[in-house]
Structure 1
Amino acid sequence: MEKQPNKLINEKSPYLLQHAWNPVDWHPWGEEAFRKARETGRPIFLSSGYSTCHWCHVMEHESFENPETAALLNRHFVPVKLDREEHPDVDHLYMIFVQATTGRGGWPMSVWMTPDLKPFFGGSYFPDTERWGMPSFRSVLKHLADLWERDRPRLLASAGSIMDQLAGFARPEAAAGEVTDRHASACFASLERGFDAEWGGFGGEPKFPRPAVLSFLFSHAAATGNRHALDMALLTLRKMADGGIHDQLGVSGLGGGGFARYSTDRFWRVPHFEKMLYDNAQLAASYLEAYQASGEELFADTARDIFNYVLCDMTSPEGAFWSAEDADSLDTGGSGKKREGAFYLWTEAEVSALLNADEAALFGAACGIRREGNAPFDPHGEFTGKNIPFRAKSNDELAEAFGIPVETIRQRLDSARKKLFEAREKRPRPGLDDKILTSWNGLMISALAKGSLILGDQKLLEAAERSARFILDTLYDSESGHLLRRYRDGEAAIEGKAADYACLILGLLDLYSASFDADWLRAAIRLAEAQIERFFDEDAGVFYSTAADDQSVPLRMIEDNDNAEPSANSVNALNYLRLAAITGRDELRDIALRTIRHFSRALDANPSALPLLLVARQIATAPPVQIIFAGKRGNPALAKLVATAFRHNRPELTVIHADETGEELLPEAAQIGRTHKGEPAAYLCADGSCQPAISDPESLDAALGSLK
């Protein structure tokens, strides 16, 4: 009998398409599946994951490709597949349930629910046979099918009670008070307790980059003069840049480099090899902040490496950015099996065969290459005899050890890196998730725009503008103000979430700062107004994750954590403060202050839950600093003045271009635009007044340095 696809064959999500030929009768999340469950009286089995998820692949191979398991699923349940990256609000709702009932979460997420979408049992990965203290997936299916037949009233009652509790979680609390310096101090103390003083990062393994935490540490150091906060951020970023979590084979203009999702060990040496756009966007911004704070070229070079990776390996023909690269790829040994990290691993013999003797010795010393392999953590025996390149020695240490100049070291390592990169390009590549997500593109647009200012690279600005133009042309309806979340294979779809609005507004505001093109500012204002109308709860003073008219999720939730991706509420607090400073519109500042205030109780309970919100709070309470620039866009003298403003990290600084046609602008800026004549100049406004025009970068730098 010829193999037939299931209903996922008509979807655009790479993750759903991976499962389109499973014998499981998968349905996408939506009314058709819900109707079938109601008509047949069967419970729904929801499996949520994403295309680059290693354990999702494992569970598919073990269970969803198995005809007997598929028959069991199809007979007793309505199987539904969800791409959590397309529907993060649905995933978040049911992940709260899984974490509350099992004490843990992760993907694939497995949830069984009634036909009216009320969950009654959940978990994560289930193996095909009982092992590691977990029941087999098939035994779970049989048990739940039996319970549904024999004890359905009890399951329905339990599910109803669980849904009531979830509705309680979703109900916004009244703010208990102001968010104050006490909350920032408590957040820092919490992070300090968990800080790894030797290797950087926070907590034990696995170690995650946590860019929102790094942003808080930079902000806290700038606001309080706390040198240890700065040192914690800088050490973490140095150790990550040296680690195996950082792809050490980035070659300028060709690709490679960037960062993997997380490290399985405390040394940042053994990554989980998937590369995500949102990680690399946020980490690029973190390395730029580190460069502003320290002046160390390592941080600028690492930001350039991330940008090179994204522009070479993750950019679509339309100019927007793809979502992720998989951890798994075909084994280079020709077994025909996919293995985690196969694309990135090297034997000592492979390195020696590709490089000349001097290069092999130098690269081996620089990147810790060993005959027996170099993984300090290998619980499944996957890395025996294999090496994950990391920076074991600096160029200065190598120069001393090999007795040759640092510049020669650099040249030889560049040559070795390029040879290995070119050989690696001939290997089977990891899978690419080529969907374009609005929120993740917004984060990347923001990082690129900042990079163009801080690194002085016009190509980065052009790349940011191409992506923003594509998103606004393809995923945005300027008439209604509605934004869509996903584009792939010619289709723009899925109602935008608060994160899509927030992150795109962030990117557009950074584009305005980098280019002074008022069209980006106007688009940001329109989106900000639409977001208030569709997502903001006027009574509670907070943004829901899902729009009021979006029927795709049973309950609208409020994001109250800055996790791998920042909470839309944190990003919104930053955005509306900035918009208010640019436009002078007090109602936008009030939105930001109410959003910050809403989370005072959450921060009492967990001080480090929302570090980026605390950055916004610091900006809101700091004396405002604005620089109003006058002069023609594109004038080199104006560009030098703007670059000076971004030489140091000042989170509270807002830059405005004085444009006499800019009705949206702060009145003072519009007035300067009408009256300023002559060469480009900067008007520094602080402490309630604006200084006289400054026309040279040195004087502007000195004036900024004199501010408290």
Structure 2
Amino acid sequence: MAAPHRRPNRLIHEASPYLQQHAYNPVDWYPWGPEALERARAEDRPILLSIGYAACHWCHVMERECFEDPAIAERMNRGFVNVKVDREERPDLDQVYQTAAQILGSGGGWPLTVFLTPDLKPFFAGTYFPPEDRHGLPGFPKVLEAVLDAYRNRRDEVERVANRVVEILRRSAGGPAGADEPAETVRAGAGDGDGGRAGGDEDPGAARGEGRVADATVAAIPVGTGPSREAARRWLERAASRIARSYDPEYGGFGRAPKFPHATGVAVLLRAGALGPRAPLSSRRGATDPAAAHLTPSAGGPGPAPGPRNPADPSSPSTDPGGAQRYLDMALHTLQAMAMGGLFDHLGGGFHRYATDRAWLVPHFEKMLYDQAQLVPLYLDAHRVTGDPFYAGVARRTLDFVLREMAAPEGAFISTLDADSDGREGAYYVWTPDQLREALGDPDDADLAARWFGVTEEGNFEDGTTVLYRAVADADLPALARELGTDPAELTRRLESIRRRLLEARRRRTPPGRDDKILVGWNGLMIAALAQAAPVLDEPGYAAAARRAAAFVLDTLRRPDGRLLHAYRGRPLDVPGFLQDYAFLMEGLLALHAADGDPRWLDEADRLARPMIDGFWDETAGVFYDAPEEAGTPLVRPVELFDQAVPAGGAAAASALARLAVITGDPAYRRTAEAYLRRTAAMAEEQPLAMASTVLLQADQLEGYTEVTLVGDPAAPVIAEWRRRLAGYYLPGLLLTVRSPGAGTERRAVWEGRDPVDGRPVAYVCRNFTCSPPQTDWEGLRRALGVG
């Protein structure tokens, strides 16, 4: 952390907020680059590689405990070339060395601590290390001395392990990091700990499967055999049935603790449930104002109220033979539980990174742009399926948080908000009863706030503080109103007043730090979320925000040769764009065109497709590389087929290309998307939670897209109204484009034969190479779509 009385190290000149956090450490840090690597080779020193990110709580802890300690820093400087990397700035380095850490048996997470030979081969790894032996973890000084001893006195062993790690890395590219083929481990003699596995900010890749690309049997999945809704339904049912094995029937979500949102996995359950045969929806609740939307299931003891019933219980009254209702209930239960628990910020909106407990009660408090961007479309889809304004309210409050707290002056969006403030994790977000009374003034309001948000003298977090959660369900609101001698509408207004006053009081606290880097890929995800929300929530400001972000990224972070850069902080950073930057931005641009009809966004998505294919696609292997060659990623060019905190870049790239193939008619786009699925679909069927984005892509291909072309001025009221109404339906295969008057069909195969009629706005619905007659009113368009 900044300490002006000290001399800064080299990191003071770096743009990354994470690297600048370490600029006044007594450690002789280098950024990743030729200077550090040349010194390691010239002096034959091992490299101590430390990877983290600005919002990482345990990164801050290790900095305070170890990197600020002069004695520990002296040992680091004496024996190693110390290199600090921001994982968000160089995701390729993080990907390679996280994989290596798993091969070495230390697990993964942040901070990642890896020891390398001068030729960048890893031989020992861990995550967080304390300054002395603690909780079964070896102290960092002991680790340093043991690793240095091994490097100097057992060099053959070090080299053997390092070479074995690289061998497994290269053989398993595209699969999980040697999950079934561990390397030896250098016996560093540092104690019985596992190198810091407990305590680091864990990699959400717990759902990673155990297979490899080479294990996939491509003949098992019918790719390119013609669209079929029934084939898509069966495919989704098989995937959902496997995902359901990991479902937590009591609290929703997958697994136990820590518990991550796994947005794509929930999306598979929702789609399998919504599109399969099922009982009438039981979750329409007629909830209150979406801006203050609450949930109605009865509270079930301490912690957030669970869903209305146990979806995994075979005696549940709406269980159906195909499981569709059950899968839908699992998805809705998970979405309800996340939004009712401490994972959601009940004062300011938005989601924290993950829950440390099974019940979604106590989060890891950092807020990531990519989580908000992925969860908003999920809640919008739940609203479309159920008609319940609760889900729309969660989406609205999340987007309002993003626009308020994560919008950059340039028009795009920053990366993260820290977990810590005043040196304490979660200090900005937690409350005591005394703090409620001080903030609200009125003791009756303070008592009501404590009851509503579960604040007690004992607390549920550290030092008697409470993470706010919804302790009272909406179903109980009328009874609470009667108890207080008021009516539900007045009580709802009072609760909203309390929320606003508490939020205002919270703003007077020291806020969490901000990592104000602008990352292209994460902005692409947020552009898509805003664009999808604008017509559903009837909020034009969301589309305007998406347009500003898209224009900034395209105008500022694209090179003259058409290729993207990865990041911006005060200036474009000299880091080339990664696969996710292209894929997520393309998907965002397609969603933005569907929201506002501007043809620019189709043109821009099309322009990005060819550089993406040329720069990342391997025709022989049938996969996309995650990093461009010019990034100079060491040891292996990474390929990730599994969803992590964000969808797999290859699946997102193939999805964007599949849609663009329909729009443009470009056969290269279609061939690439189909080849990717031939390579990955069988593996996705075996490991659907780990590869849920690929499952969804395959469902699109099996079912085929529903092409809706609106012909007319995009700004015309009738066209805007049709877009708004279409957005209210759950149509995951909808491919919506708007053809402006006079627009030609060059690279717009989707518009061929879909012409204006007598100068009036018209709509065409096409599916399986068959189009409806031109529709001139909403009722005709609705009937052509076959929706109610």
Return the TM-score normalized by structure 2.
Answer: 0.84
Q: Which runs of 5+ in 1 are unaligned?
A: 250-255, 331-337
Matches within 5 A, 1:673-688: 673=755, 675-688=756-769
Matches within 5 A, 1:206-355: 206-225=258-277, 226-249=324-347, 256-330=348-422, 338-355=423-440
- Secondary structure of the 1:122 match is strand
Q: In the aligned structure 1, how far is the partner of 2:397 from the partner of 2:127?
A: 35
Determine which of 656, 659, 673 is the counterpart of 1:575: 656
Alignment of 1:387 with 2:466, yes or no, is yes
Alignment of 1:196 with 2:237, yes or no, is no
CA contact (8 A) 1:51 1:326 kept: yes
- Secondary structure of the 2:427 match is coil
Determine which of 441, 465, 480 is the counterpart of 1:401: 480
Task: For 2:332, give the aligned amino acid.
Answer: L
Q: In the aligned structure 2, how far is the partner of 1:103 from the partner of 1:45?
A: 16
Which residue matches 1:499? 580
Which residue matches 1:643? 724
Alignment: residue pair count = 685
Which residue matches 2:548? 466
Matches within 5 A, 1:145-224: 145-170=148-173, 173=214, 176-178=217-219, 179=221, 184-224=236-276
CA contact (8 A) 1:30 1:552 kept: no
Q: In the aligned structure 2, how far is the partner of 1:353 from the partner of 1:30?
A: 51
Task: For 1:497, give the aligned amino acid.
Answer: F
CA contact (8 A) 2:51 2:113 kept: yes
Q: Which moved more, 1:552-561 or 1:59-68?
A: 552-561
Q: Which moved more, 1:213-222 or 1:40-49?
A: 213-222
- Secondary structure of the 1:306 match is helix
Q: In the aligned structure 1, how far is the partner of 2:216 from the partner of 2:672?
A: 14
Q: In the aligned structure 2, how far is the partner of 1:164 from the partner of 1:366?
A: 56
CA shift digits 1:647-680 (9 cap, x unpaired): 211111111212443444543514434x433332
- Secondary structure of the 1:442 match is helix
Which residue matches 2:76? 73
CA contact (8 A) 1:658 1:670 kept: no
Task: For 2:472, give the aligned amino acid.
Answer: K
Q: In the aligned structure 1, how far is the partner of 2:758 from the partner of 2:631?
A: 50
Task: For 2:719, give the aligned amino acid.
Answer: L
Q: In the aligned structure 2, how far is the partner of 1:664 from the partner of 1:297?
A: 42
Q: In the aligned structure 1, how far is the partner of 2:786 from the partner of 2:634?
A: 50
Matches within 5 A, 1:422-437: 422-437=504-519
Alignment of 1:8 with 2:23, yes or no, is no
CA contact (8 A) 1:214 1:233 kept: yes
Change (3 A) 1:30 1:664: farther
Which residue matches 1:252? none
- Secondary structure of the 1:493 match is coil
Q: Which moved more, 1:34-43 or 1:194-203?
A: 194-203
Q: In the aligned structure 2, how far is the partner of 1:486 from the partner of 1:314?
A: 16
Task: For 2:435, give the aligned amino acid.
Answer: E
Q: Which moved more, 1:50-59 or 1:590-599?
A: 590-599
Which residue matches 2:177? none
- Secondary structure of the 1:531 match is helix
Task: For 1:421, give the aligned amino acid.
Answer: L
Which residue matches 1:557? 638
- Secondary structure of the 2:629 match is coil
Cα RMSD for the two superposed structures: 1.9
CA shift digits 1:110-142 (9 cap, x unpaired): 100111111111111111111111111111110
Q: In the aligned structure 2, how far is the partner of 1:539 from the partner of 1:525?
A: 24
Which residue matches 2:321? none
Which residue matches 1:123? 126
Q: In the aligned structure 2, how far is the partner of 1:396 from the partner of 1:360?
A: 22
Q: Structure 1 residue 601: deviation in Å? A: 5.1
Task: For 2:403, give the aligned amino acid.
Answer: L
CA contact (8 A) 1:436 1:488 kept: yes
Determine which of 532, 536, 540 is the counterpart of 1:454: 536
- Secondary structure of the 2:754 match is helix
Alignment of 1:368 with 2:451, yes or no, is no
Q: In the aligned structure 2, how far is the partner of 1:289 from the partner of 1:662?
A: 33
CA contact (8 A) 2:104 2:123 kept: no
Task: For 2:611, give the aligned amino acid.
Answer: A
Task: For 2:458, give the aligned amino acid.
Answer: E
Q: In the aligned structure 2, how far is the partner of 1:307 from the partner of 1:616?
A: 26
Task: For 1:329, give the aligned amino acid.
Answer: S
Q: In the aligned structure 2, how far is the partner of 1:600 from the partner of 1:633?
A: 37
Return the TM-score normalized by structure 1.
Answer: 0.94
Q: Which runs of 5+ in 2 are unaligned?
A: 175-212, 223-230, 278-323
Which residue matches 2:188? none
CA contact (8 A) 1:395 1:406 kept: no
Percent identity among equivalent residues?
A: 41
Q: Which moved more, 1:689-698 or 1:57-66?
A: 689-698
Q: Structure 1 residue 352: deviation in Å? A: 2.0
Task: For 1:140, give the aligned amino acid.
Answer: V
CA shift digits 1:33-58 (9 cap, x unpaired): 11110111101110000011111111
Task: For 1:153, give the aligned amino acid.
Answer: D
Task: For 2:469, give the aligned amino acid.
Answer: F
- Secondary structure of the 2:541 match is helix
CA shift digits 1:599-656 (9 cap, x unpaired): 2453365332210111010000104311110111111111111122222111111112
- Secondary structure of the 2:118 match is coil
Alignment of 1:359 with 2:445, yes or no, is yes
Which residue matches 2:138? 135
CA shift digits 1:537-574 (9 cap, x unpaired): 01112100011333144321111111211110111121
Determine which of 654, 663, 666 is the counterpart of 2:735: 654
